[in-house]
């Protein structure tokens, strides 16, 4: 049937909201293959340190060199810089005058988790336990009675670095936090959800056999655990004070759904944007503008610290690049920032059909509708938001539309119901143009976050065209 004039007018004027899987020109095989590699990656890299290790390997395999070992850089050169094992930057040098600005995609590689306290090990009721301090915004009740694995490093008194990774392999033990049985939970059940499990209740069970001796001594189970750790790693109790041990879900990331369209897995905030932005950079060869991927730590606790976005280590990296290309001088980097474009590649909340009253349905991110472009984050009054200029939003939508990138524009939830932040405002402080742009996630910050393979692939493509735009 012929379309009526009114139908034609509507098609011309309305913005279509389209499920990405229904798009004409998508290659499902490519999407599925990309997602498979991504799933392998998030199963291997469950902490910021492990991300840096995996990314360094990938960068080296793709011709990136350590910035510190290079004296001079020229157009087309590929370099990376690692900041204290937890934060990494990579760049492909452009052929244009560097003072015309950089194209930067910035994501973060830390995720919510349970850290050990400085004095973690104790014994109670002949069980050995670890005290934890949670990192990032978690719903604490989600972290009990799930398998946990132990990752991180311990520095000994004589400065030896012990790397720990227990609970990911089939033949390794896991750990868990024991919740109260329902039979005895009548009082706990009356508490508010965020009070039912407190921060001090997140104690991890780590053993139960007493040290074998005829002597009458106390804390034999704790002694036995310390003895095992001493035999395996050479550590003593005091060594925990100089450790960074993170407990994360020992769950394997997998395809989700009969149609395998989704990914369920831990740490997708924000490793889904970190992985896609780094993979996209690998496709950038001889760009005009210098393309940079920045992967920050500490975003989940406010971006402070020397590996967080607020540290000057990123400027140091850029100044090193200037030193080794056109020569740095005072004020030059500030000048370059004025014409630098940044995508703050962080996830946003995807519409969850279990909680319709939470959302304002015209302005949410929908799973499978492509990458989300978020003009501003913040809370009720837009407080704390870096609100991108319309001119820059216009540039981004034009870029995405020209390159057939599926994108959506959204807020996160109804006004006043909550809020969130990203590294965008810290980059905006430097004087760059910046906008949030990432993959929508359902059940964000939970031990098992959900994303769409279509959105993941679109993020990868979106970052690639952004890096390469002149
Ligand atoms: Mn994030
Ligand atoms: Mn987060």
Kindly give the distance from the C-alpha atom of residue 236 to the centroid of ligand 1, in angstroms, as a whole number.
35
Q: Find out whether 465 and 395 touch, Cβ atoms under 8 Å.
A: no
Rg over alpha carbons for the chain, rounded to the nearest Å, is 24
For the stretch 222-236, pLDDT in tens is: 999 999 999 999 999
| Per-residue model confidence (pLDDT) at position 380 | 82
| Cα–Cα dist 10/16, whole Å | 10
Question: Which band of pLDDT confidence, cut at 50, 70 and 90, is reported for residue 24?
Answer: confident
Q: What size, in residues, is the chain? A: 470
pLDDT at 17 over 90: no
**CA proximity to 119, closest of 203, 198, 199, 217:** 203
Q: Is 219 left (phi over 0), alpha (psi -120 to 50) or beta?
A: left
Alpha carbon of 268 to ligand 1 centroid (Å): 9
Query: How far does the centroid of ligand 1 lie from the alpha carbon of residue 58, in Å?
Result: 22
Segment holding 129, helix H or strand E: strand 127-135
Of 119, 152, 173, 169, nearest to 233 by C-alpha is 152
Alpha carbon of 380 to ligand 1 centroid (Å): 19
Spell out the domain ranges in the chain. Answer: 15-111+266-468, 113-249
DSSP string covering 177-221: -PPPPGGG-HHHHHS-HHHHS-GGG-EEEEE-PPP--SS--S-HH
CA of 431 to the centre of ligand 1 (A): 22
Q: 113-249 belongs to which CATH class? A: mainly beta
- At residue 418 the predicted structure's pLDDT band, cuts being 50, 70 and 90, is confident
d(Cα 24, Cα 21) in Å, to the nearest integer? Answer: 8
- Enter the DSSP assignment of 286: S
Distance 265 CA to ligand 1 centre (A): 15
Same topology, domains 15-111+266-468 and 113-249? Answer is no
C-alpha 181 to ligand 1 mean position (Å) = 33
Average pLDDT over residues 313-317: 98
Residue carrying structure tokens 């959204």: 410
Indicate whether 421 pLDDT > 90: no
Q: DSSP letters along 147-184, please?
A: -EEEEEEEE-TT-PEEEEEESSSTTS--BB-PPPPGGG
Q: Ligand 1 centre and the CA of 85: distance in Å?
A: 20
Neighbour-count burial for 412-443, b at 16+ CB within 10 Å, e otherwise: bbeeeeebbbbbbbbbbebebbbbbbbbbbbb
CA distances to 77, 342, 358, 419 from 353, in Å:
47, 32, 10, 19
Residue 340 makes CB contacts below 8 A (sequence gap 6+) with 101, 102, 103, 104, 430, 431, 432, 433
pLDDT at res. 420: 85
Q: How far is the CA of 407 from the centre of ligand 2 (A)?
A: 21
pLDDT tops 90 at residue 419: no
What homologous superfamily does CATH list for 15-111+266-468? Zn peptidases (3.40.630.10)
Residue 312: partners with Cβ closer than 8 Å, 6 or more residues away: none
Nearest Cα to 107, choosing from 267, 261, 289?
Answer: 267
Q: What is the pLDDT of residues 95-130, one digit of tens each?
A: 999 999 999 999 999 999 999 999 999 999 999 999
Q: What is the pLDDT of residues 174-196, one digit of tens each?
A: 999 999 999 999 999 999 999 99
């Amino acid at each position: 049937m012929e379309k009526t004039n009114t139908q034609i007018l509507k098609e011309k004027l309305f913005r279509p909201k389209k499920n990405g899987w229904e798009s004409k020109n998508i290659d499902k095989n490519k999407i599925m293959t990309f997602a498979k590699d991504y799933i392998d990656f998030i199963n291997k890299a469950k902490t910021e340190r492990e991300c840096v290790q995996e990314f360094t390997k990938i960068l080296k395999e793709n011709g990136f060199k350590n910035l510190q070992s290079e004296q001079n850089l020229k157009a087309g050169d590929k370099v990376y810089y690692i900041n204290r094992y937890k934060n990494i930057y990579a760049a492909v040098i452009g052929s244009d005058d560097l003072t015309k600005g950089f194209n930067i995609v910035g994501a973060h590689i830390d995720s919510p988790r349970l850290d050990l306290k400085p004095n973690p090990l104790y014994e109670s009721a002949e069980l050995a336990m670890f005290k934890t301090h949670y990192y990032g915004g978690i719903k604490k009740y989600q972290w009990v009675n799930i398998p946990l694995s132990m990752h991180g490093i311990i520095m000994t008194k004589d400065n030896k670095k012990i790397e720990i990774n227990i609970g990911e392999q089939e033949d390794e033990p896991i750990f868990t936090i024991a919740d109260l049985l329902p039979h005895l939970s009548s009082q706990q059940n009356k508490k508010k959800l965020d009070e039912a499990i407190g921060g001090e209740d997140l104690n991890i069970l780590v053993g139960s056999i007493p040290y074998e001796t005829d002597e009458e001594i106390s804390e034999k189970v704790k002694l036995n655990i310390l003895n095992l750790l001493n035999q395996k790693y050479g550590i003593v109790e005091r060594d925990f004070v100089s450790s960074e041990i993170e407990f994360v879900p020992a769950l394997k990331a997998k395809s989700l759904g009969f149609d395998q369209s989704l990914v369920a897995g831990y740490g997708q905030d924000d490793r889904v944007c970190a992985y896609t932005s780094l993979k996209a950079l690998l496709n950038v060869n001889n760009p005009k503008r210098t393309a940079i991927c920045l992967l920050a730590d500490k975003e989940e606790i406010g971006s402070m610290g020397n590996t967080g976005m607020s540290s000057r280590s990123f400027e140091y990296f850029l100044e090193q690049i200037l030193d080794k290309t056109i020569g740095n001088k005072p004020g030059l980097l500030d000048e370059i920032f004025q014409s630098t474009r940044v995508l703050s590649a962080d996830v946003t909340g995807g519409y969850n059909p279990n909680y319709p009253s939470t959302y304002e349905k015209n302005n949410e991110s929908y799973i499978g509708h492509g990458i989300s472009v978020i003009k501003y984050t913040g809370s009720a009054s837009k407080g704390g938001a870096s609100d991108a200029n319309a001119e820059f939003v216009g540039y981004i939508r034009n870029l995405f539309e020209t390159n057939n990138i599926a994108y959506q524009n959204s807020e996160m939830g109804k006004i006043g119901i909550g809020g969130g932040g990203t590294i965008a405002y810290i980059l905006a402080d430097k004087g760059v143009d910046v906008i949030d742009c990432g993959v929508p996630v359902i059940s964000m910050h939970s031990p098992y976050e959900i994303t769409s393979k279509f959105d993941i692939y679109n993020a990868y493509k979106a970052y690639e065209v952004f890096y390469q735009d002149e």
